[in-house]
Structures are given as structure tokens and as C-alpha cells.
Chain A
Amino acid sequence: MHTIHIEKKSMHFKFPKALATILLVIIILCAVEVVAQIRSHFKFGQSVLTRATQERPYSTNQATGLTLFRPNVQFGGKDQVIRSNSFGLRSNEIPLKKPPGHTRIVVMGASTVMGAYASENSKTFSALLEDKLNNETKKPFEVINGGFAGLTLKQQTRLFDRLLANFEPDVTIVYTGFNDFATYCTPPKKPDVVQAIPLNSVQLPKWLLSIELLLKNTVALRAGVQNESLEVVDADALDISNYVTDLEKLIETLGKHDTLAILVTNAKSYRRDQPMEAQKTLSETARFYNHCFDLSGLHRLHERHNDAIVNAAMLHNLQLFRLDDTIPGGKRYFADASHFSEEGEEFVANWLTEKLQSSGALNEVEK
């Protein structure tokens, strides 16, 4: 009788153990997510809380239809503070009308130009460039940071045409960045294969930072474990004509607005002359965002895009600055695969100051 009693009792209490395990799993997963959100909130001023309270730092810019910063906001955390001007750019407040005698330079591009890892606006290479030009030439320069994270070349052209051109820049420096790579990873539909018609599936919410952090920091683990069904795109065989066309359109747009256009080739942290292991580590974020390319594919695609920039500059007789040949790779100048560290921002600002003077670009503008 006694044994039966214990048996019954233990059975009664056994089910809650499994339930406790499941609850614990949910609690741990939620706790990790909360920690990731708090970390992001304090470091970058962005979290699910800012989303929920509609205090997102982004809004749609009426003039361009693009998502830019909300005008005149300051946000961020311990590691980074971003201040936007009344145009939604990470730049000083500049009047539309250029003061007489001033030289205006617009630097256009994406997150690298915006200063993805610059702790404050004054540490972006655009801001540093303005300081250096003013100090070294003793003439008044205004440099507008026209970069915004995530913009493709087509969007950069629209931003220039509808907003940046209104500042009447004397010089426009174009650093296109790598956002156009992502378009290559959307697989084309195979017309001859019969496709299933699945129901909509439930996806992980995009605001989950714990998953993003995990995936971002473990690219190297997956690099050797690419699935059978995941096709790696051949960067040599890839059709980059859309990129070339978009580049042509940008140059055409710049030409319309009477500004001296300077094309800058894109630089990256990982380089072919580094040891393979270093290249793999340094390229992790690039491989995370461009998951359909392996390391050599990324090198090749990068070279092909830069070749397109070089060819466009030659074809249209534009000034070309080769940053990819100049800035050393590695962690000193890059915070990840393609964004500059603060030392990198400083390096680029110095280099541009020197190039603008030595190339005669500034003299040309003065004429």
C-alpha cells in the first residue's frame, strides 16, 4: 500500500517537472533576449522599447521618399550618439543657400559614409574632413555628410537628386558602399521547375536581437557548413549590369547639377594579401549580410564593382580616388568587414584632405 501511495504521489508531481523544464527554456530564451535588448538600448539607444513607443529614430523623408533620420533628434547610448540635422542627415545644420566664398562638399554613400561606428557626429570622416580642410587651407569649407545606412546606389542617386543637390555642392564625393551586393542573393525563380504552393509561414520577429547577435557572431562556424541546398553564387559569372547602369544614372544626375564629381573606390577590411584565417575572421559580417557568397566570391564581387567605378570614372573623365589601394585592411582601420573604426575615419579624412589638394580638385572648384 505504501509503495503504491509513493508511486501515485511521484506521478502527480512528475508532470510539473517537464512543464518546469519547458517554462525554464522559455524564461532563459526571454532573459537572453532582454539582456540583448538592454545592451542595445544603452549602447546604441535602440531597442524594442523605442520601437514600441514609436520613438524610432527613423522616419520617411518627404522630399526623397527614403527612410532617413527623424529631423533634429539625438539618440544613442554609451558607445554612440547620433544627432540628426533638420534634413534627417547625420551632419551639421547647414543652410540651403551657400554663403558667398564658401566651398561646399557633399560626401554621399551609405552606412560607411554615415559613420556606422563613429561614436559621435564629429568623429565621422566627413566632419573630420571639414575641420582639416578649414585648418589646412584657411579657407571656409562646409562638408555635408550625405550618407545613410542601407542605401543602394539607386537610392543614393535619388537622395542626391531630391535633397543633397539643393545644397549646391561644389564637389560631390561618391563612396557607394556595398548595399547593392544584397540584391545578388535573391535567387531567380527557375521557370521549368514545378513549384509547390506553401501556406504563409510564421517567421521569427525581426526585432529579436539575441538571434541576430548569435548569427552575426557565428558566421565562421557556418562558413564550412553551408547547406547542400544553399547555392553559392559565382561572382565571376554574375551579371552586374544593373550596378553599372545605376552608376551611369548617378553620374548623369551629378552632371545635371553642376558639381565636381569624385568617385572613390570601396575599401574593405579583408584583403587577399592577408593570411586566410584573418580574411575569414575579418569578412564575417560581409558573409553574414551577403550569405550567398563565399570569401573568394566576395573578393571577386568587390573587385568587379570597383572595376565598374574605375571604368565609369575613365569613361566620363571624372576624378577617381582609389581608397581600396590605400587604406590597409584589418581591425585597426575597420570595425567590421566594411565600416571604418574611428582610426579608419581619421585615416580617410586625412587621405581625402591630401587627395583633394594634390589632385587639383579644389583649385578646379575655385576657378
Chain B
Amino acid sequence: MSFQSFHFLMFLALVCFAAWGFGKSINTRNNILLAASYYFYAAWDWRFTCLILLMTGINYFAGKKIAQSRNESDQKLWMIMAVIGCLSILAFFKYFNFFAEELSALLKKAGLGENHDTLKLLLPIGISFYTFQSLSYTLDIYRKHLAPCQSFRDFALFVAFFPTVLAGPITRASQLLPQLREPQDLKSQHVEQGLALIARGFIKKIVFADILAAGLVSPAFDNPSDFTSVFLLLALYAYTFQIYMDVSAYTDIARGSAALCGFRLPENFNRPYIASTVSNFWQRWHISMSSFFRDYLYFGLGGSKRGNVYLNLMLTFLAIGIWHGAGWNFLVYGMIHGGAVCFDRWKRSQKGSNESISKLGWLLGVGVTFHIVVFSRVLFRAPDLQSAAHYMQQMFSSTGTQFLLSWPPIIALTVSAALHWAFPHTSRNFIAIFIKMPSLIQGILLVAITYVLMALTTGTAPFVYFQF
């Protein structure tokens, strides 16, 4: 069920009214939300609801066992079993096709047969997100940051909660579980904020992300040889803003949907392209995902306290890279970012953390960081490493002559950049101004936005992070 569908609109309306109606009865409300969340996931492919249930069962059971275990070694054993169980399922569905194809190619090279038919697996949508979300619960119990959830139903709802199940934000158990145990505290402001967030999300997706994709990014990446170097560079900038608008749009709609049901989800982005270092970029980009890797992998490896900090950083970023997809391009993406973060760390250790930075230095840092992000994005967008290399090669020595220039994507790119750098508060103010408006204006505005968005979209472009 796509967020951009009439089906979702009807679903959300029904769920919200049910959640409001039974807001005071926690049991009824949670039962409704759980059924709705499983229906939402089943709408994509009902077969994979078993997978989400399995993931829920593993972590609920492991969490309980860890809390019940008297000695640390037993706790560790249960934690390791849960991690291996969840990551094996994730790895099987996410990486099986990749390794099978690589093996097939290797056998072919070694002269051991021409065609090796491999089992093609369908990647269950959102598996990376709900695996991490459920795993964070077990790890938090193991670290004694969280008490185990007493209700399997509530835990199942936490894992499958429909706004976050497909593409995050990866919500920690400590953020959502307490809200599930409380009666509804629904205020008008929450609902208005939810409506404004959803409207903002759709504007970001349809007016910016999809227009940039259709007008600049897709033509350039589909046939890089046809276009001039300048166009390919422009398309890469466009992709940088497209992916930001797309992913943050999903987060807005997810947060808005949750707010309509009376729940609060964490913010996931904080103007990532004003980061002055790559480390800082990862504190601002997809915060729920990067903080998961920081808290559970980087700190688990020892962080800066145990072992080699640079090795720990590199391993963390390699994991971030391959979390995004099975392919050498994602591995190289992780290496580039890991290398840049290691360099930041080394530079900081040389200068000392208290050294102040001049405005010009900061500006230079923003420029350099932004361009590291822009150029590494080619690995993110290209289907494989060869295509990414071909794109870069064309960008520096293009043989193409085409330069597609149409106003909608150029305007979308300019406005995206201006909103990010020149008018940073516009996006946030949109919510505040919306809440202050009288109902009549709010209603007219929402209808106008609905019609404009319907006129602009064919409603079929999926969110970029669905593939992860």
C-alpha cells in the first residue's frame, strides 16, 4: 500500500478514527493498531507477514530470556542468538541474490558451466528497518537500558507499527513502547501537526523529488553517454536533493500518520547538507539509522575506548554501506564515507577538539563535505559499480551532446537548495503557521494541496528507501 494511494488515505482515516474512538482503552486501541499494521504490511505481500512475526517472536523471546537470566554469559548467549537469528534472515533475503549471482559469474569465469540458474528471492519491503527496530529492543535489554515488554501484542505493534514498518524512521523501543502503554493523549495540535507533516511530505515528494527524478536524474543515469558533462554534474546535484527530499518526505508522512494516531516519532533529518564534516553529516542524515549503527555497532566494537578507533569506524561505515543494498557500489560508498570520517577523527585528534573554527573555514568545510556527499551519491544511484564508474568517466570526459533543459526540474533544484541553505526555517515554519491558521483556511489549503499534487503526480513513483 503506497502512501500516495487512495487506499492509504482510506486506511489512515479508518485507523485514526478507530484510534481516537478507543483512545482511552489501551487494549482495544492497540489491538486495532496491530491488526491495521499487519494489514498495511500484508497489502504489499501477505506472505511476508510471517517474516515480521518471526522477527517479532525471536526478539520478544530473547528479550524475556535475557531479563530472566541470572548470569551474564547466559544473557550474552541469548543476545548473540537473537542477533544471529535476525541478521541471518536479513542477510538471506537481502544478499542471497547478490552472492548467488557473483558465484554464478565466478563459476562461469572458471569455465564451470555457462548458465547457473539461481533462485531469485523477492526482497521483503522494509526488512532492513523492522529487523533493526526489533533488534534494538533486545540489545537495549541486554545493555540494561530497557525493561522487557510484558505484552507480546504491544511488542508486535512496536515492530510492525504501520507508519515506520516500510522505511523508518527506525524507532527505539524506549521511544515507542512507553507511548503504547499510555492512554491516548490526543490534542488538536497533534492532529493539526500530523496533517501539516503529511502535506509537507507529499509536497517534498511530488513537487521536488519526483520532478528532479523525472527531469534531470533519470535521463542522466539511464543514458549517461548521451549527455554533456555539465548536465551529468547538474543531475548529480539534483539527485543529492532528490534523495533528501524523498527520504525526508517519507519520514514526514510517517511522523504525520503517527501523530494523527496520537504517537510521536523521532525526527530523522537535520539539514544534512550544512554539515561541515562528513562525521557531522552522519549526525544530520537519517539520524535514526546512523545512530543505530553508532550505538549498537560502533560502540559495540569498542568505539573510541577499545581497540582501534579507525578500524571500528571503517567497519561501522562498511556496515552502513551494505545495509543500503547488496552490491559492490554500496560497499565502496561505505568505504568512502568511512575513510572521510576517519580523516575527520584524525584531524580532530591532531588539532584538539576545543579549537575554534573561522566562518570561512566552516564554509569551506560545508562545501567540501557537500561535494564528498554529492560525488559519492553516484554509487548510491547507479545500479552497480561499473555503471557508477561509467557515469563518473562520462562526467569528466563526456562524449554526449545533449543537455535537457526544462524549467520544472531547474526550479525544483533551485528551490530545494534555497530551502536548505538560504531559508532553513521555511519548512519548520510551515507547520507552525499551519497550526495557527483557522480551520477554514487549513481546510482550503489542504484541498488545494491535494488537487495540485494530484495534478502533478501519476502516483506510481515509489520512495527511494523502499529498496533498502
Hey, which bits of chain A sit against chain B, CB under 8 A? 11, 14-25, 27-29, 32, 192-199, 201-204, 211, 214-215, 218, 221-222, 224-230, 291
Contact = CB atoms under 8 A, between A and B. Distances in A.
Contact of B120 (A15, A25, A194, A227): A194
Interface residues of B, number: 51
Contacts of B187: 11, 14-15
B422 interface: no
Interface centre among B5, B45, B443 (most CB of A within 10 A): B443
12 contacts: A17-B188, A18-B192, A27-B443, A196-B44, A198-B44, A202-B10, A214-B454, A215-B455, A222-B456, A222-B457, A224-B406, A228-B210
Contacts of A14: 187-189
A194 B215 contact: no
A181 to B, nearest CB: 18
B177 interface: no
A225 B207 CA distance: 9
B121 A194 contact: yes
A28 B210 contact: no
A196 B7 CA distance: 17
A221 B456 contact: yes
B458 A28 contact: no
Interface in B393-444: 406, 408, 439-440, 442-444
A11 to B, nearest CB: 7
Contacts of A229: 460-462
A228 B461 contact: yes
A204 B215 contact: no
3 tightest A-B contacts by CB? Answer: A24-B443, A14-B188, A18-B191
Contacts of A225: 210-211, 214-215, 408, 456-457
B interface, over-half SS:
helix
B195 interface: yes
B238 to A, nearest CB: 13
B320 interface: no
Interface string B210-234: 1101110110000000000000000
Contacts of B455: 214-215, 218, 221-222
Contacts of B112: none
Contacts of B456: 218, 221-222, 225
Nearest to B123: A194
B447 A29 contact: yes
A221 B207 CA distance: 11
Contacts of A202: 6-7, 10-11
Contacts, number: 127
Contacts of A25: 443, 446-447, 450
Interface centre among A29, A195, A228 (most CB of B within 10 A): A228
A18 B454 contact: no
Nearest to A16: B188
B192 A21 contact: yes
Given A19-B191, A28-B444, 11 more contacts: A18-B189, A20-B439, A21-B446, A24-B440, A24-B442, A29-B447, A192-B120, A201-B5, A215-B455, A224-B214, A227-B461
Interface centre among B217, B439, B461 (most CB of A within 10 A): B439
A276 to B, nearest CB: 12
A70 B191 CA distance: 50
A18 B435 CA distance: 9
A21 B42 CA distance: 31
B446 A227 contact: no
Given A17-B188, A202-B7, A218-B455, A24 B214 contact: no
Contacts of A222: 455-458
Contact of A203 (B6, B42, B408): B6
A250 to B, nearest CB: 34
Nearest to B451: A214
Nearest to A291: B458
Contacts of B458: 222, 226-227, 230, 291
B149 interface: no
Interface centre among B1, B121, B408, B442 (most CB of A within 10 A): B442
B382 interface: no
B186 interface: yes
Contacts of A11: 187
B122 interface: yes
B280 to A, nearest CB: 31
B206 to A, nearest CB: 8
A212 B456 CA distance: 14
Contacts of B5: 201
A27 B444 CA distance: 10
Contacts of B186: 15
A226 B439 contact: no
B46 interface: yes
Nearest to B6: A204
A225 B439 CA distance: 32
Interface string B1-17: 10001110011000000
B103 interface: no
A28 B447 contact: yes
Interface centre among B43, B408, B444, B447 (most CB of A within 10 A): B447
A193 B123 CA distance: 12
A32 B447 CA distance: 10
B47 interface: yes
A197 B125 CA distance: 12
Given A11-B187, A224-B408, A24 B461 contact: no
A250 B442 CA distance: 57
Contacts of B406: 224
A227 B210 contact: yes
Interface in B311-363: none
A13 to B, nearest CB: 8
Given A16-B188, A29-B447, A24 B454 contact: no
